[in-house]
Amino acid sequence: MKIFSLMALAAILTMQGCETKSSKDSEAQNQQSTHMLLSTAWYQKAAERKALYYQAFNIAKLRVDEILKNKGEKNSAVVLDIDETVLDNSPYQGWCIENDSTFSSISWDRWVQQGSAAALNGALDFTTYAKQNGMEVIYISNRHVSQMDATLKNLKEEGFPNASREFVFLKDTTSDKQYRRAKVEEKYSIDLLIGDNLGDFDHLYDKRKNQNAHKVLENQKTLFGNKFIVLPNPMYGKWERPYQKMDGNYVENLIKHLESF
Protein backbone atom coordinates (compact mmCIF):
# COMPACT_ATOMS: atom_id res chain seq x y z
CA MET A 1 0.00 0.00 0.00
CA LYS A 2 3.09 2.25 -0.27
CA ILE A 3 2.21 5.89 0.36
CA PHE A 4 -1.52 5.37 0.00
CA SER A 5 -2.85 7.25 2.98
CA LEU A 6 -5.86 6.51 5.08
CA MET A 7 -7.19 9.83 3.89
CA ALA A 8 -7.22 8.46 0.36
CA LEU A 9 -9.07 5.38 1.55
CA ALA A 10 -11.65 7.60 3.21
CA ALA A 11 -12.06 9.44 -0.09
CA ILE A 12 -12.96 6.19 -1.83
CA LEU A 13 -15.43 5.14 0.84
CA THR A 14 -17.08 8.50 1.58
CA MET A 15 -20.68 8.71 0.46
CA GLN A 16 -21.82 12.19 1.31
CA GLY A 17 -24.78 13.75 -0.23
CA CYS A 18 -24.93 17.61 -0.42
CA GLU A 19 -26.02 20.81 2.52
CA THR A 20 -25.60 24.51 2.06
CA LYS A 21 -22.42 26.18 3.39
CA SER A 22 -22.41 28.27 6.55
CA SER A 23 -19.65 30.49 7.88
CA LYS A 24 -19.01 28.12 10.81
CA ASP A 25 -18.46 24.88 8.95
CA SER A 26 -17.46 25.94 5.43
CA GLU A 27 -14.00 24.37 5.82
CA ALA A 28 -15.41 21.04 7.00
CA GLN A 29 -18.05 21.14 4.28
CA ASN A 30 -15.41 21.81 1.65
CA GLN A 31 -13.57 18.73 2.91
CA GLN A 32 -16.74 16.64 2.71
CA SER A 33 -17.55 17.71 -0.84
CA THR A 34 -13.94 17.02 -1.87
CA HIS A 35 -14.25 13.51 -0.46
CA MET A 36 -17.30 12.88 -2.65
CA LEU A 37 -15.07 13.22 -5.70
CA LEU A 38 -13.83 9.63 -6.08
CA SER A 39 -17.18 8.04 -5.27
CA THR A 40 -19.04 10.28 -7.73
CA ALA A 41 -16.36 9.88 -10.40
CA TRP A 42 -16.56 6.09 -10.03
CA TYR A 43 -20.33 6.18 -10.33
CA GLN A 44 -20.25 8.30 -13.48
CA LYS A 45 -17.12 7.00 -15.22
CA ALA A 46 -16.42 3.39 -14.22
CA ALA A 47 -17.53 0.67 -16.63
CA GLU A 48 -17.67 -1.57 -13.56
CA ARG A 49 -20.62 0.43 -12.23
CA LYS A 50 -22.55 -0.11 -15.48
CA ALA A 51 -21.65 -3.80 -15.41
CA LEU A 52 -23.04 -4.17 -11.88
CA TYR A 53 -26.34 -2.58 -12.93
CA TYR A 54 -26.65 -4.83 -15.98
CA GLN A 55 -25.76 -7.83 -13.84
CA ALA A 56 -28.37 -6.96 -11.20
CA PHE A 57 -31.16 -6.39 -13.71
CA ASN A 58 -30.25 -9.53 -15.67
CA ILE A 59 -30.62 -11.51 -12.45
CA ALA A 60 -33.89 -9.69 -11.77
CA LYS A 61 -35.28 -10.79 -15.15
CA LEU A 62 -34.42 -14.40 -14.35
CA ARG A 63 -36.21 -14.04 -11.03
CA VAL A 64 -39.30 -12.64 -12.78
CA ASP A 65 -39.45 -15.75 -14.95
CA GLU A 66 -39.12 -18.03 -11.92
CA ILE A 67 -41.64 -16.11 -9.81
CA LEU A 68 -44.31 -16.00 -12.51
CA LYS A 69 -44.13 -19.77 -12.90
CA ASN A 70 -45.50 -20.09 -9.36
CA LYS A 71 -48.13 -17.38 -9.07
CA GLY A 72 -50.09 -17.06 -5.84
CA GLU A 73 -53.57 -15.70 -5.23
CA LYS A 74 -52.45 -12.08 -5.40
CA ASN A 75 -50.93 -10.45 -8.46
CA SER A 76 -47.14 -10.45 -8.27
CA ALA A 77 -45.22 -7.16 -8.00
CA VAL A 78 -41.66 -5.92 -8.05
CA VAL A 79 -40.94 -2.90 -5.85
CA LEU A 80 -38.12 -0.61 -6.93
CA ASP A 81 -36.52 2.40 -5.31
CA ILE A 82 -36.12 5.38 -7.68
CA ASP A 83 -32.92 7.31 -6.93
CA GLU A 84 -29.76 5.43 -7.90
CA THR A 85 -31.98 2.45 -8.72
CA VAL A 86 -33.85 3.54 -11.85
CA LEU A 87 -32.82 7.21 -12.11
CA ASP A 88 -29.27 8.63 -12.04
CA ASN A 89 -28.83 11.64 -9.75
CA SER A 90 -25.04 11.70 -9.84
CA PRO A 91 -25.07 15.07 -11.69
CA TYR A 92 -26.49 16.53 -8.47
CA GLN A 93 -23.54 15.09 -6.56
CA GLY A 94 -21.26 16.60 -9.20
CA TRP A 95 -22.87 19.98 -8.64
CA CYS A 96 -22.28 19.64 -4.90
CA ILE A 97 -18.59 18.95 -5.48
CA GLU A 98 -18.19 21.89 -7.85
CA ASN A 99 -19.91 24.21 -5.38
CA ASP A 100 -18.27 22.88 -2.19
CA SER A 101 -21.69 21.96 -0.85
CA THR A 102 -23.34 19.03 0.84
CA PHE A 103 -27.00 17.92 0.70
CA SER A 104 -29.73 20.49 1.23
CA SER A 105 -33.46 20.11 0.62
CA ILE A 106 -33.40 23.34 -1.40
CA SER A 107 -30.72 22.33 -3.90
CA TRP A 108 -32.05 18.76 -4.07
CA ASP A 109 -35.57 19.99 -4.85
CA ARG A 110 -34.18 22.25 -7.55
CA TRP A 111 -32.54 19.22 -9.17
CA VAL A 112 -35.68 17.05 -8.86
CA GLN A 113 -37.89 19.75 -10.35
CA GLN A 114 -35.67 19.85 -13.44
CA GLY A 115 -36.73 16.27 -14.13
CA SER A 116 -33.49 15.58 -15.97
CA ALA A 117 -32.28 12.42 -14.20
CA ALA A 118 -31.44 9.78 -16.81
CA ALA A 119 -32.47 6.12 -16.71
CA LEU A 120 -29.80 3.85 -15.24
CA ASN A 121 -28.31 0.98 -17.20
CA GLY A 122 -30.69 -1.96 -17.48
CA ALA A 123 -33.48 -0.34 -15.44
CA LEU A 124 -35.81 0.53 -18.31
CA ASP A 125 -35.30 -2.81 -20.03
CA PHE A 126 -36.02 -4.69 -16.81
CA THR A 127 -39.14 -2.76 -15.76
CA THR A 128 -40.56 -3.05 -19.28
CA TYR A 129 -39.84 -6.80 -19.26
CA ALA A 130 -41.49 -7.29 -15.87
CA LYS A 131 -44.60 -5.34 -16.89
CA GLN A 132 -44.96 -7.08 -20.24
CA ASN A 133 -44.65 -10.50 -18.62
CA GLY A 134 -47.32 -9.93 -16.00
CA MET A 135 -45.48 -8.63 -12.94
CA GLU A 136 -46.68 -5.24 -11.69
CA VAL A 137 -44.04 -2.53 -11.35
CA ILE A 138 -44.22 -0.38 -8.18
CA TYR A 139 -41.90 2.47 -7.14
CA ILE A 140 -41.33 3.34 -3.47
CA SER A 141 -39.01 6.32 -2.99
CA ASN A 142 -38.03 8.72 -0.22
CA ARG A 143 -38.48 11.64 -2.51
CA HIS A 144 -41.07 13.89 -0.82
CA VAL A 145 -44.72 13.77 -1.90
CA SER A 146 -44.40 17.44 -2.93
CA GLN A 147 -42.10 16.21 -5.71
CA MET A 148 -44.63 13.77 -7.16
CA ASP A 149 -45.43 15.69 -10.34
CA ALA A 150 -41.78 16.27 -11.23
CA THR A 151 -40.95 12.64 -10.45
CA LEU A 152 -43.76 11.26 -12.60
CA LYS A 153 -42.77 13.56 -15.45
CA ASN A 154 -39.15 12.39 -15.23
CA LEU A 155 -40.14 8.71 -15.17
CA LYS A 156 -42.51 9.16 -18.10
CA GLU A 157 -39.96 11.02 -20.19
CA GLU A 158 -37.46 8.22 -19.61
CA GLY A 159 -40.06 5.70 -20.73
CA PHE A 160 -40.65 3.81 -17.48
CA PRO A 161 -43.89 1.81 -17.14
CA ASN A 162 -46.46 2.64 -14.46
CA ALA A 163 -45.32 6.26 -14.10
CA SER A 164 -48.56 7.26 -12.38
CA ARG A 165 -49.76 8.05 -8.87
CA GLU A 166 -51.28 4.59 -8.52
CA PHE A 167 -47.87 2.95 -8.71
CA VAL A 168 -45.52 5.57 -7.18
CA PHE A 169 -45.30 5.91 -3.38
CA LEU A 170 -43.27 8.85 -2.08
CA LYS A 171 -42.35 9.93 1.46
CA ASP A 172 -44.83 11.92 3.51
CA THR A 173 -44.01 11.84 7.23
CA THR A 174 -41.36 9.12 7.51
CA SER A 175 -38.48 7.70 5.48
CA ASP A 176 -39.28 4.22 6.84
CA LYS A 177 -40.73 2.41 3.83
CA GLN A 178 -42.44 -0.32 5.85
CA TYR A 179 -45.85 1.40 5.85
CA ARG A 180 -45.78 2.02 2.10
CA ARG A 181 -44.76 -1.57 1.40
CA ALA A 182 -47.70 -2.67 3.56
CA LYS A 183 -50.04 -0.54 1.45
CA VAL A 184 -48.75 -2.24 -1.69
CA GLU A 185 -49.21 -5.67 -0.08
CA GLU A 186 -52.92 -4.98 0.42
CA LYS A 187 -53.30 -5.53 -3.32
CA TYR A 188 -50.13 -7.27 -4.52
CA SER A 189 -47.66 -9.93 -3.47
CA ILE A 190 -44.25 -8.25 -3.29
CA ASP A 191 -42.05 -11.01 -4.68
CA LEU A 192 -39.01 -8.94 -5.63
CA LEU A 193 -37.43 -5.74 -4.27
CA ILE A 194 -34.64 -3.75 -5.92
CA GLY A 195 -32.75 -0.82 -4.40
CA ASP A 196 -29.41 0.74 -3.50
CA ASN A 197 -29.98 0.99 0.25
CA LEU A 198 -30.78 -1.92 2.56
CA GLY A 199 -33.73 0.05 3.93
CA ASP A 200 -35.33 -0.50 0.52
CA PHE A 201 -35.80 -4.13 1.56
CA ASP A 202 -36.55 -4.16 5.28
CA HIS A 203 -36.99 -1.45 7.90
CA LEU A 204 -34.74 -3.43 10.25
CA TYR A 205 -31.75 -2.09 8.29
CA ASP A 206 -32.62 1.51 9.16
CA LYS A 207 -30.98 1.16 12.58
CA ARG A 208 -27.24 1.38 11.99
CA LYS A 209 -25.75 1.61 15.49
CA ASN A 210 -23.70 -1.24 16.94
CA GLN A 211 -23.32 -3.00 13.58
CA ASN A 212 -27.07 -3.73 13.59
CA ALA A 213 -27.37 -3.81 9.79
CA HIS A 214 -24.59 -6.39 9.59
CA LYS A 215 -26.40 -8.62 12.08
CA VAL A 216 -29.69 -8.36 10.17
CA LEU A 217 -27.86 -9.05 6.94
CA GLU A 218 -26.41 -12.31 8.23
CA ASN A 219 -29.92 -13.46 9.13
CA GLN A 220 -31.26 -12.54 5.68
CA LYS A 221 -28.30 -13.42 3.49
CA THR A 222 -30.19 -16.07 1.53
CA LEU A 223 -32.70 -13.45 0.34
CA PHE A 224 -30.11 -11.53 -1.68
CA GLY A 225 -30.19 -12.53 -5.32
CA ASN A 226 -33.58 -14.14 -4.67
CA LYS A 227 -36.06 -11.65 -3.22
CA PHE A 228 -33.66 -8.74 -2.67
CA ILE A 229 -31.40 -7.31 -5.38
CA VAL A 230 -29.05 -4.54 -4.27
CA LEU A 231 -27.39 -1.97 -6.55
CA PRO A 232 -24.11 -0.10 -5.96
CA ASN A 233 -24.17 3.47 -4.63
CA PRO A 234 -20.85 4.77 -3.26
CA MET A 235 -22.06 8.40 -3.16
CA TYR A 236 -24.38 8.41 -0.13
CA GLY A 237 -26.32 6.04 2.09
CA LYS A 238 -27.63 5.29 5.52
CA TRP A 239 -24.48 3.35 6.46
CA GLU A 240 -22.65 6.64 7.04
CA ARG A 241 -25.13 8.08 9.56
CA PRO A 242 -23.35 6.85 12.72
CA TYR A 243 -20.12 8.58 11.62
CA GLN A 244 -21.96 11.81 10.81
CA LYS A 245 -23.49 11.90 14.28
CA MET A 246 -20.19 11.45 16.13
CA ASP A 247 -18.45 14.44 17.66
CA GLY A 248 -15.84 15.99 15.41
CA ASN A 249 -15.21 16.00 11.69
CA TYR A 250 -17.02 13.38 9.60
CA VAL A 251 -13.98 12.44 7.51
CA GLU A 252 -11.75 12.19 10.58
CA ASN A 253 -14.32 9.91 12.22
CA LEU A 254 -14.23 7.63 9.19
CA ILE A 255 -10.45 7.47 9.23
CA LYS A 256 -10.45 6.52 12.92
CA HIS A 257 -12.72 3.56 12.19
CA LEU A 258 -10.97 2.22 9.10
CA GLU A 259 -9.09 -1.05 9.35
CA SER A 260 -5.43 -0.80 8.47
CA PHE A 261 -2.14 -2.57 9.18
The tens-digit pLDDT sequence of the chain (261 residues) is 443 344 444 444 444 455 544 444 555 555 566 778 999 999 999 999 999 999 999 999 999 999 999 887 899 999 999 999 999 999 999 999 999 888 999 999 999 999 999 999 999 999 999 999 999 999 999 999 999 999 999 999 999 999 999 999 999 999 999 999 999 999 999 999 999 999 999 999 998 888 999 999 999 999 999 999 999 999 998 888 777 777 777 778 888 888 888
- Structural domain count, the chain: 1
Output the pLDDT for position 13.
Answer: 41
Predicted model pTM: 0.86
**CATH code of the domain containing 24:** 3.40.50.1000
| Domain annotation covers residue 187 | yes
| Strand boundaries in 178-220, DSSP class E | 188-195
Output the pLDDT for position 32.
Answer: 63
Output the pLDDT for position 7.
Answer: 44
| Domain annotation covers residue 92 | yes
| Domain annotation covers residue 230 | yes
| Domain annotation covers residue 57 | yes
Output the pLDDT for position 21.
Answer: 46
| Domain annotation covers residue 109 | yes
Output the pLDDT for position 4.
Answer: 39
The range of the structural domain enclosing residue 78 comes to 6-256
| Domain annotation covers residue 261 | no
Name 150's Cβ contacts closer than 8 Å, sequence gap at least 6: 112, 113, 114, 115
Name 130's Cβ contacts closer than 8 Å, sequence gap at least 6: 60, 61, 64, 78, 136, 137
Q: In Å, what is the CA distance from 32 to each residue of 113, 134, 197?
A: 25, 45, 21
Output the pLDDT for position 145.
Answer: 98
The DSSP annotation for 7-61 comes to: HHHHHHH---------TTTHHHHHHHHHTTHHHHHHHHH-HHHHHHHHHHHHHHH
Which helix (H) or strand (E) element contains residue 178? Answer: helix 178-185
| Domain annotation covers residue 1 | no
| Domain annotation covers residue 74 | yes
Output the pLDDT for position 29.
Answer: 56
